[in-house]
Amino acid sequence: MELRSELYPPLEPNRSGMLAVDALHTMYWEECGNPNGVPVVFLHGGPGFGASPQSRRFFDPDFYRIVVFDQRGSGRSTPVGETRANTTQDLIADMERLREMLQIEQWLVFGGSWGSTLALAYGCTHPSRCLGFVLRGVFLGRPWELEWFMNGVRNFFPEVWQKFADHLPAAEQGNLLENYQRRFNDPDPAVRLAAARAWCIYEGSCVTLLPDPHVETTHSDETMALGVGRLEAHYFANQLFLAGQPLLEQVERISHLPMITAQGRYDVVCPPVSAWELHKAWPGSELHILPDAGHSGWEPSINRELVRACEQMKTRIAS
């Protein structure tokens, strides 16, 4: 029988709330679908993008108990763009707080881009809480991958990169990360926002196979820009808080679980070699390299493959 490949219809949360995870951060969460179904948790990209109503639509709402949340400093979580007490280890701990609050024993972990990094880091820390993984646009957070995002992308999007670099004076373009981060910490909110918009538009302009004519409008949104710009620079400057803990060297902790990856052949943000190397390190995993897609999870062939993956997981996690 052919598996479904179209997104499920829009649906509304059964319940939602704000979870105080420490004295500073409060995390937005929501739950959709079958309250008694197999739990699945959606991990958005960035860091900093936040989830959207579309995030719910990869999953069969009759089968899955769908958990979506916005990570610290992202989307509807508060305060937006806050870098204090915001590390990969904090996000992993937040996932555990949410899982325990919802009284979930185990869940399928679904993540794209930075969400794939967080999915793997969470899994390696709490393997017994995972049923399996559905990933997209794999990002392993290695130093060369960070350097690629900051400078390597210019090989494919030279005009987009130049606009990103030109937000800074020529004398500061030799170290984009350091000098953007300095602006993100400027006391003037206007300076912070302008830098965040330049950063967010840069990323948004590189994620699709074909140009998105609306990217400058959508990625200028203040909440999105501040979340993405400030948090990505913060995480990149700290090597994603994974220094000394390379994900590829830890995947044996979770490689007994099922894993399916959808990867765009022309993903310029997260080059396919990372998905390939993860696949090679994970016996029994599936990797689908899609010949007509870039990075975005909303590329038509990628979202179809992700829906199919979640359909496949219905039997794999039940066996």
234 has catalytic annotation: no
Give the DSSP H/E element, type plus range, for residue 316.
helix 300-316
E-strand spans in the chain?
15-20, 26-33, 38-43, 64-69, 107-112, 130-136, 259-264, 286-290
CA 155 vs. chain centroid, Å, equals 23
Do residues 112 and 258 lie in contact, with contact meaning Cβ atoms separated by under 8 Å?
no
Q: Can you tell me the distance from the alpha carbon of 250 to that of 254, in angstroms, rounded to the nearest whole number? A: 8
Q: Can you tell me the distance from the alpha carbon of 53 to that of 262, in angstroms, rounded to the nearest whole number? A: 21
CA 212 vs. chain centroid, Å, equals 20
113 has catalytic annotation: yes
The single residue of 60, 70, 94, 267 carrying the catalytic annotation is: 267
Do residues 240 and 95 lie in contact, with contact meaning Cβ atoms separated by under 8 Å?
no
DSSP assignment string, 227-249: HHHHHHHHHHHTGGG-TT--GGG
DSSP assignment string, 29-96: EEEEE-TTSEEEEEE-STTTT---GGGGGGS-TTTEEEEEEPPTTSTTSBSTT--TT--HHHHHHHHH
The single residue of 44, 167, 279, 295 carrying the catalytic annotation is: 295
The single residue of 74, 113, 116, 274 carrying the catalytic annotation is: 113
The sign one gets for the Cα dihedral 218, 79, 199, 222 is positive
274 has catalytic annotation: no
Residues with catalytic annotation?
A: 113, 267, 295
